[in-house]
A and B are shown apart, each in its own frame.
Chain A
Amino acid sequence: MRLRPTPEERQFADLAAEWLSRNVPREPRPPAGEPMAAFDRAWQRLQYDAGWAGVAWPKEYGGAGLSLVEQMIWFEQCARFDAPEPGVLNIALGHAGPVLIAEGTDTQRQDHLAAILRGDQVWAQGFSEPEAGSDLAALRTRGVVDGDHLVVDGTKIWTTGAHLSDWQELLVRTDPAAARHRGLSFAIVDLTTPGVEVRPITAMDGKVHFAQVFYDGVRIPLRNLVGGLGDGWKVAMTTLGFERGTMTLGTVIRLLKLIDDVKELARTRVDCRGQPLSTSDEVAARLADLEAEGVALHALAVAFVSEVKRTGSSSAGSMIRPLYAELSQRVKRTGAELLGRDGLTTDGTDEAARFVPAYLHSFGHTIGTGTAEVQRNVIAHRVLGLPRG
């Protein structure tokens, strides 16, 4: 075991640091809508042109062909230089791309992978429905084969970024007679196709993160199927690992920095007697717990990428996402609570603007990408081998 970088890892980190120090955008990211998406696309394009996009993607698909270890080092350097997050490109880079690499056809890969790395395509997922949340296999949106097209009718909901997206991954029921997991197919859909309607939904923090999408006789070419007809569940399950393991690595590293910021907040803010909050035993113990859990999560992420590099897989992948989600909630909640009455506005101070919206937004962490409860089911069944209920 070693944490010290090899000469190659050191060189990679140094090159990344050197490039990031000169290229991280100085202007703030616009808060919403198309200007925000344009900012994210431009930052991605900058990375792509310099060869930093898709660090762990295979070279044949435009990536750098390196391992998750280098991907992790890249995220560490990004956090160090406060580089913008993937933002609206999160699903494209973290999910749609890896799905197409694993399961897509050559044409699909050619049409989308380079475009995703360039930041030219914004993607959304299309899994949850009004009557199919945690019970995903209960989904009802129908796809009927008509000649060389799939005709889709139904609705998807809680679709993050759908209102800003160009493409969507879509899980639909193509065989109503088959057993519920067997009758599903996985397609990709151009969201400009006639019959698609996107209605944004405002979340509890007052912002639009997601939308409901309606499909009315939407014609999707059969060549846009990923896997064959009826393979949808298999394709959707293969992708669980990307989302819950790899996609979380970057956010884990950023969370460590946020924990530092909460500690700093406790040092700079004072209680009613003028003493720094950090001098209270209760606050100090709470911050120590957050710091310890942050280091443990960092260690688990390093153990995860190490095991994947050495053996090809790691069951820690299913654990990083729920641990991250719950720790992140605690960190953001602590930040908001340390603000006291200053936490009663979302813009009264710089600290309030930083922590209060983050706190409100964090309630979604244990709901999106599979609830905390569903993630525990996955660990219980797939990692621990416990029987299903």
Chain B
Amino acid sequence: MDTCACHITGGNFDSAGEASSLLKEALKRIGVEPELIRRAVIAAYEAEMNVVIHARRGRLEARIAPDRVEVEVDDEGPGIPDIPRAMTEGYSTAPPEARALGFGAGMGLPNIRRCADELSLESSVGKGTRLRFTVLLRGGQEHGESAVGLEFLRERCTDCRLCLRACPTSALRVRRGWPLVLEHLCINCTECIRGCPAGAISLRHSPGAAAGAQAGSIVGAQHAAPLPETTLVLPKALAARIAESPARAVALLRARGYRRVLWLDAWRDAVRREALRFSPTRPMILPTCPAVVALIESRYAALIPHLAPVASPIESMAAQLAGEPLEVVVSCPAEAAALVARGVSVMSPKTFLSRFGEGAGHALPPQTDSAPEFQIPRVTGIADVIRTLESIEDGHMGDVPALELFACPGGCAASPLLRSTGAGEAGTAGSEIADRPAPPPPDDSPGTIAVASPLRAPRAPRPGIRLDKEMAEAIRKLGRIDELTRALPGTDCGLCGAPTCRAMAEDVVLGRAVRRDCPYFHDDSKEESR
């Protein structure tokens, strides 16, 4: 754990902001993603300015761990006599000289609350105040998963909040007009991408190097050429977008510097073939779609024994090709997250098409990954997948030997990332695809014979939705959530930034929001209790 600390002098506006700048530099050095840095330093700056404006002196200490940054700000000052009031937007006791500089909007503590994942505030009148907050850096690390592979483009977001409604796991929130993802709930499906009319959600990109990709990064369009001896793996449906046949696409890509070009589809077939050798609890669920696997691990843990005990196609491919320079064009954020966690370089379809050109070929129809030769019933689309999982959980479908479930309607080939042609990943090319002529018969993938890999570790429930590690405390919190849900209006309007009133109640109980975030909630006597 790294620590940085800074003394703050009350009333010294000239040096104010130094502690936050130090924290920002420290977070940048360890590679924290920009949006998380932004949240941490805004909260730190607001806390620092509160000391400068109100106290005689103070100290800011930030402790940086791989999964979180914890900031503690202690001051010697007048203290806060009424903390709930101080947390109210617009309430300020800042003196005129601070207001003249643009401070004193009464938004300092509310801003900290919005930016932080956890917040506590203790104050003693006449003595001072201690404020602690935490910003979680990698919510998925707790259960061995990578962080989510989504990026929110602030400049495109119109605050319409349709993404809140689209998310099947209630993993999205809107805070001050800006979508945030609760990483421990996100399964990396594509519903929010599909549901955003502004194209404000896409595959997350990391700043790229001039040429070639850093291990575990997401390759940006600025990468000029692959590193020598690099193998490119991509969905066959995408190859057909750059040339009139897959064989021509392979030739084109090899001419651009790739040593080998392989189809990801080969690993999907390999996993199907291998999975059918097993006969676990009926119906067996194939692990083809990593978002469905994540959904089962997080929400339907009782169904984990139904999952075929083989790695997903994307994991199998990464395991088989481990050790060689590799770039993979992914179909969805779930594939990207799985690969980045293994240190594999990932390229979005948009980047791929911008580098190699789109339009020479033909789009394959969405059903190209249906694999009819395996005769496995498929369910596609997250709503139908959830209905199916609930049906299995209820003891139905025991007469079905095997099922293949895809989060995307139509399967992987219909992922909104693969269908994008415009400025954003969430383009609306559906009609364009339908209008295009049928493709020529695809050639077989050249080169390596794909092999399904065994699991690296047995599948286990993800603790993401647990309310607390301790069962007794979790039950207590559940009771408070039920109680608060009943007190909320029940309109699920989304104005508070949560998708439903129950999600809002959970956020309040878990410290992610306060009751006042609901514009219709009136209960001053219990305000701010968590």
A and B are interacting partners:
no
Q: Which residues of B contact A (CB under 8 A)?
A: none
Q: Which residues of A contact B (CB under 8 A)?
A: none
